[in-house]
Structure 1
């Protein structure tokens, strides 16, 4: 597990922040035209939205003619170009983003002409086009893998934008459900992105990319704690809140089996430590959430779907937001530990969003948003 002190030596006491932008393998730092990257922002999430990176190029206009330095800019602004961004400090940088250029903007809003280049990860390609077809795969995890057999994704793999696929077997494959129910998986006038998100929701999975790895896996399945933060350990601003209003002590899901018209349902009692006393627990125990889902096909699927829905609701209990020193290792889809504040503020949170940002005024900073379903024991 990493912490602030262990990384101080790696990154030279977090002095002299540095960002490296490579476009089609060409480093921006090698340009000889006096151009600079004035700001870099990388927004990462383990939610269903695409990851995005923006870098701003200044010094890109000829002072004599007022025209943009097109020849010098061209290698770094072409739409569709492969982008790799590393962030850190002079003592070392690490990758935080890879994707392709989706938008280029020529801007002058404060008297200083610049070019803003926006890149997105592989989800940007997945959002294009609409399909209506039946897939060969009979299980969800295999169907998602089948999406990436298309030539467009094979090209992204060849260029390094897609590094690998992390798609373990989904519950339907574990149960062998397709063999029992002869399930066909179809795309119904939807994009690859919409298809993957639809089935991720139904299967209780996360769907996102991280450093070139496409992940379609059970939500919050990586139980390892990767990092510790605290007021004396890199964390400068924070907000930690606990709210019992979304919670329930019991949950039930109901559906209808198509073949025989029988009701399919599952029930679950939810018990977690949500208070230092007993009052909150007593209130929550009396409440119940009921979910209606017409897509359920079996009692086993109902139980699995309820487990995911109940857990998703439970993770609305605790919210953690903070700003801290810039650390490339801070990524969504991982657990971190907050220490040094005392109970109940000290806790373990699942990181859902990370913003890596660097500019000449603030240096390299990270903003994090995470959630938890209970108080620390």
Structure 2
């Protein structure tokens, strides 16, 4: 970091380094970074900065690690001290990849960076050379004062070779730069690459609840209409039952009142009183029959209501279970970038800083970045 650079300057006997005016870009991690940590013996370094053939740009990577951190990462014993700073030249590359899709409501980007110190004898395995994306504003245009330099490898001066390597880097990104999106096709919910599983599940649940509510309203509206109609019939029928019961009560009172007259008529031989009593009895029985019929109708309506409520319960359960299952139906979609959406933003010789230190009688170099 910038705070650590003055510390590195002090280690090599100066107070301030020079800062470049390079273009900036926001940085993001380019997958799992592979930081340099191994120590190596120092050989062939000079205090003169070697010229890089051709017109390729040059950048100085800042010493972002303090010496103690770098020594610990290189598994060196405690108590060592820095004897200076030495630079090694490598090819520095970085590209921004954009992922755009209206279908999946996707607008995302990431940066992929790589450092190539040697071309080897075959194809470059870029997955072994990627690093965390670089903040271009932190790259320097000048080395730290009093630094040493290793010779520039010959292949870095071959413009055609380095251009071919850059092309291969961009092609590798195109071939392997796909990202995975969590998807629920039924709900049309698609997660951004950085969305957590918990957030994705929440989005799916919210979408399912909205769709479920719409379906429940549609499914239950017909049943609710039938329930409302039937409830009005039940309310009216309860009044009919109550009226029939009142009629029975009235007839019972009349029967009691005429019962005494009938008994007196039998004793006195008055046939009219007896006939009137028999008529009252028939009317009472008729009232009871009507009450029974009204009660049976009410019971039938109540049975119908139970059936409708059961139908509604089953319908609600079916719809709820359906959308619960839909929430769980997720998959992954692979999104491959278009070549036109891969932009090179860094290509040049990168001078990598290494601390010099003495260990077990030998001068060794440990990565300072």
Higher relative contact order (CA closer than 8 Å, sequence separation 6+): 2
Normalising by structure 1, we get a TM-score of: 0.24
| The structure with more strand, counted as a fraction of residues | 1
| The structure with more helix, counted as a fraction of residues | 2
Normalising by structure 2, we get a TM-score of: 0.25
Larger radius of gyration, structure 1 or 2? 2
